[in-house]
């Protein structure tokens, strides 16, 4: 099963690529934005890229994609394509401009491991879980509970208040750089949503990005002891931020990677165009519990 992308949207995306190839950058960006308003997953961008790469070698796409992004079609999938096009063009500096882990990845504790809300959250998040792993989602063999921000729960409200403060502080600390396509695409107002994820020995997330937000993050609530084994070769339950293996990019292309060891109370924040994945715990019957969340553009 795959997520359905309407065939007519793919055809419209190909038309947008045709406009871009003709030098009609503003018209191409406007059409892409109209398609995005219909299908915010932006999965249809594959049709756009398919047509471009049918006409031109990948090494020549960067100026076109940069022009499209600069014309207003800036979102996690177009930024991912922009960095890819920069690397295909042999320009790692341009790729790193939007993929810079040193500059944009934040890993810090929200609080200590003895925070009194942690056991309350673990109990809250262990209830009402849905078995949720459709193949078009990134989660495999795990449990997910959506829209925690809508749940009437005092401990979840406290959690969201803390996460909102931390995420907005992160946004405020980001540099101002009008030449950076990611930073320039910052929304004016943010909404926050989140979902719980319970992982057992077999659960993992395949490499993915968050196509409908600007920033996303994870907050670790419960972490089994196996995760603390820093010497384990299989990095059980760890988070990897970096290009998916099938991209074939390395640091030499401008794409770094970072492995993050979960700890109770730890928060990871990143731009939503950063690909990331998790490793299964692989052993034991204890569970890792976390909250994934997104800061998205909110129209007031
Ligand atoms: Fe994610």
Q: Which tens digit of pLDDT belongs to each residue from 201-232?
A: 677 778 999 999 999 999 999 998 877 777 77
For residue 12, list its beta bridge partners. Answer: none
Each residue's pLDDT tens digit, 31-82? 999 999 999 999 999 999 999 999 999 999 999 999 999 999 999 999 999 9
pLDDT at 273: 98
Distance from Cα 239 to the centre of ligand 1, integer Å: 10
Distance from Cα 226 to the centre of ligand 1, integer Å: 22
For residue 295, list its beta bridge partners. Answer: 192, 215
Distance from Cα 31 to the centre of ligand 1, integer Å: 28
Contact yes or no for 121/159 (Cβ under 8 A): yes
Give the closest residue to 148 by CA, choosing from 138, 133, 163: 163
Report d(CA 36, CA 184) in Å as an integer.
19
Residues of the chain predicted below pLDDT 70: 1-3, 128-142, 201
C-alpha 223: how far from its chain's center? 22
pLDDT at 231: 78
In residues, how long is the chain? 300
Q: How many Å from the N-terminal Cα to the C-terminal Cα in the chain?
A: 36
Q: Give the SS3 label for residue 272.
A: coil
Distance from Cα 182 to the centre of ligand 1, integer Å: 18
C-alpha 107: how far from its chain's center? 15
pLDDT at 1: 39
Dihedral angle computed from the Cα positions of residues 216, 220, 225 and 229, in that order, rounded to the nearest 10 degrees: 30
Distance from Cα 277 to the centre of ligand 1, integer Å: 7
Neighbouring C-beta atoms of residue 235, cutoff 10 Å: 19
The three-point CA angle 70-73-78 to 5° equals 100
Distance from Cα 19 to the centre of ligand 1, integer Å: 33
Strand arrangement of the beta sheet that strand 239-241 belongs to: 258-260, 239-241, 276-278
pLDDT at 129: 60
Structure tokens at 33: 């934005």
H or E element: which one contains 99?
helix 92-99
pLDDT at 224: 85
Report d(CA 216, CA 297) in Å as an integer.
12
Contact yes or no for 227/262 (Cβ under 8 A): yes
Distance from Cα 54 to the centre of ligand 1, integer Å: 31
Give the closest residue to 120 by CA, choosing from 147, 158, 165: 158
Report d(CA 78, CA 72) in Å as an integer.
10
Distance from Cα 17 to the centre of ligand 1, integer Å: 28
Report d(CA 125, CA 291) in Å as an integer.
9
Structure tokens at 92: 């790692």
Distance from Cα 234 to the centre of ligand 1, integer Å: 20
Distance from Cα 24 to the centre of ligand 1, integer Å: 34
Distance from Cα 254 to the centre of ligand 1, integer Å: 21
Distance from Cα 210 to the centre of ligand 1, integer Å: 6
Residues 6+ apart with CB under 8 A from 21: 52, 55, 56, 64
Distance from Cα 269 to the centre of ligand 1, integer Å: 10
């Amino acid at each position: 099963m795959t997520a359905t992308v309407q065939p007519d949207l793919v055809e419209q995306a190909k038309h947008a690529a045709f406009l871009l190839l003709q030098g009609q950058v503003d018209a191409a960006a406007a059409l892409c934005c109209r398609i995005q308003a219909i299908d915010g997953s932006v999965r249809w961008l594959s049709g756009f890229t398919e047509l471009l790469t049918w006409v031109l070698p990948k090494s020549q796409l960067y100026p076109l994609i940069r022009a499209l992004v600069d014309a207003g079609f800036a979102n996690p999938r177009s930024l991912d394509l922009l960095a890819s096009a920069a690397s295909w063009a042999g320009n790692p500096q341009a790729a790193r401009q939007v993929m810079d882990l040193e500059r944009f990845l934040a890993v810090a504790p929200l609080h200590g491991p003895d925070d009194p809300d942690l056991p309350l959250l673990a109990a809250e998040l262990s209830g009402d879980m849905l078995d949720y792993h459709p193949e078009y989602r990134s989660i495999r063999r795990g449990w997910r509970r959506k829209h925690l921000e809508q749940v009437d729960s005092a401990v979840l409200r406290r959690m969201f208040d803390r996460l909102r403060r931390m995420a907005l502080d992160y946004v405020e600390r980001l540099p101002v750089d009008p030449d950076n396509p990611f930073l320039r695409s910052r929304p004016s107002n943010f909404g926050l949503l989140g979902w719980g994820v319970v992982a057992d020995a077999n659960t993992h997330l395949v490499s993915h990005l968050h196509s409908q937000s600007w920033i996303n993050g994870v907050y670790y609530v419960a972490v089994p002891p196996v995760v603390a084994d820093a010497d384990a070769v299989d990095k059980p339950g760890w988070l990897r931020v970096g290009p998916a293996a099938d991209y074939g990019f390395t640091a030499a292309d401008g794409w770094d990677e970072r492995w993050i060891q979960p700890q109770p109370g730890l928060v990871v924040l990143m731009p939503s165009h950063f690909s990331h994945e998790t490793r299964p715990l692989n052993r034991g019957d204890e569970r890792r519990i976390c909250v994934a969340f997104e800061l998205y553009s909110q129209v007031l």
